[in-house]
Amino acid sequence: MQKNLPLSYIEISKENLIHNIKQFKSLLTNGTKIASVVKANAYGHGDKEVVKIISPYTDYFQVNSAEELERVRKYTKKPILVFGYTDEEGIKKAIKLSAILSAFDLIHLLKINYISGLLKKKTKVHVAIDSYLGREGIMPSQIENLILEIKKLKNIELDGIYSHFANIEDTMNFTHAQKQIDTYHEYVEMFKKNGFKNLKTHISATSGILVYENGNSLHNIVRLGIGLYGMWPSEHLEYLNKKKITLKPVLKWVTHIAQIKILPANHPIGYGLTFITKKITKIAVIPQGYADGLPRSLSNNGEVLIRGKRAKILGRVAMNMIVVDISNIKDVLPEDEVVILGRQDKNEIIAEQIAKESDTINYEATTRISALLPRIVK
């Protein structure tokens, strides 16, 4: 175990993070701007560290809440888009911190206008259009009335309109995505015909960049999330794009062995007695568990890396500990490095492996990592 390093921590590669944003910039044309998505603690990577590294390379940052905005604003002067729902207190915070707010509907827009008036500020707003996602945003049937009402509001500036794809990364059939983009463009034109000429427009996150904006840049902003962190939205999009760009994982999750011991045959391991040794077994106790972000579904299923070899998790993932089998790994010592996610020597555990073993997606595999673990930039 190296001196001056915590027992458990998240290592962030500055080089890989910068590499990834440059790769996506290479796909964009016509001056399309990048909004780097740092919500959810930068997908578990650490918003403070990520913002400091990429602030010179991005045009905007995107967060989900006023609370995230407060954190991110400490580390950058770049424009920040708040795209989650904001209540009255959240709106006040956002206005004071010069954020760009998302409006989900007319009621939300009226609330932002009213509070802006109280604070004697004019607030930039991006209106969400629900183009067949069935989530946040204005329904198409309400847009005509919305445009009439916006013209009456004195304390907001309609800076942009946006939408979000529903199904673009896991399919070869882009029929629904094309329906969404056609609907979105129809209402963009409606806004423009009603005098809103210089709107920011955006519908594409990482998947949309790879499918629609790639070499075309149909909109003047893209929202770069999962790809920024060196992960592909899906195996399908990786296959289609890996010859155009390379992505490098940014995160490495490191801990160290707390204890080594030998258990006899027919000995239980962990809560619920879900694993019983069939033979003499050498185990290592690892001080990370589901409170730190390890999915409990990795019980008797997942792996870690020790001395460059894979060690299987035995028994249940507990709140703060797991047990792994080191019977076939030579020369293991207490406090040896353990890699839960990332590369060690010639071996690597990627977020997609953890996601597959725990029946989820790579987004969740990193996002769930505890914010209490120190982030260290290398």
Strands 33-37 and 221-224, by their bridges, are parallel
Q: Which of 39, 93, 200, 252 is catalytic?
A: 39
How many Cα atoms within 13 Å fall on the side-chain side of residue 228? 28
Distance of CA 281 to the CA centre of its chain: 38
**59-101 pLDDT, tens digit each:** 999 999 999 999 999 999 999 999 999 999 999 999 999 999 9
Residue 14 pLDDT: 98
Domains and CATH numbers, the chain: 14-239 (3.20.20.10), 251-377 (2.40.37.10)
User: One-letter amino acid identity for 78?
Assistant: K
How far is CA 61 from each of CA 72, 188, 200, 261, rounded to the nearest angstrom? 8, 23, 15, 48
**Is residue 224 within 8 Å of 24, Cβ to Cβ?**
yes
- d(C-alpha 315, C-alpha 322), whole Å: 8
**10-25 pLDDT, tens digit each:** 999 999 999 999 999 9
Strands (DSSP E) along the chain, which ranges? Answer: 9-12, 33-37, 60-63, 80-82, 100-103, 123-128, 156-162, 200-202, 221-224, 251-256, 259-263, 268-269, 275-276, 281-286, 303-306, 309-314, 322-325, 337-344, 347-349, 375-377
Share of the chain above pLDDT 90, in %: 88
39 is known as an active-site residue: yes
Question: What's the chain's average pLDDT?
Answer: 95
The two structure tokens encoding residue 219: 């909109």
Residue 194, C-beta contacts closer than 8 angstroms, at least 6 positions apart: 147, 151
Q: Of 198, 125, 199, 189, which Cα lies nearest the Cα of 157?
A: 125
**Is residue 180 within 8 Å of 131, Cβ to Cβ?**
yes
Band (pLDDT 50/70/90 cuts) for residue 172 is: confident
Q: Which of 193, 244, 271, 356 is catalytic?
A: 271
**What 3-state DSSP class applies to 188?**
helix
- d(C-alpha 38, C-alpha 26), whole Å: 21
**End-to-end CA, the chain:** 17
**183-201 pLDDT, tens digit each:** 999 999 999 999 998 999 9
- d(C-alpha 328, C-alpha 330), whole Å: 6
Mean pLDDT (whole number) for 242-251 = 96
- d(C-alpha 257, C-alpha 332), whole Å: 9
Torsion angle, alpha carbons of 284, 287, 291, 293, to 10: -70
Q: What is the CA radius of gyration of the chain?
A: 24
Please report, for the chain, how many H helices and E strands are present, in that order.
12, 20
Band (pLDDT 50/70/90 cuts) for residue 245 is: very high
Band (pLDDT 50/70/90 cuts) for residue 107 is: very high
- d(C-alpha 36, C-alpha 44), whole Å: 14
The two structure tokens encoding residue 368: 């769930």
Residue 157 pLDDT: 97
Q: Report the length, in residues, of the chain.
A: 378
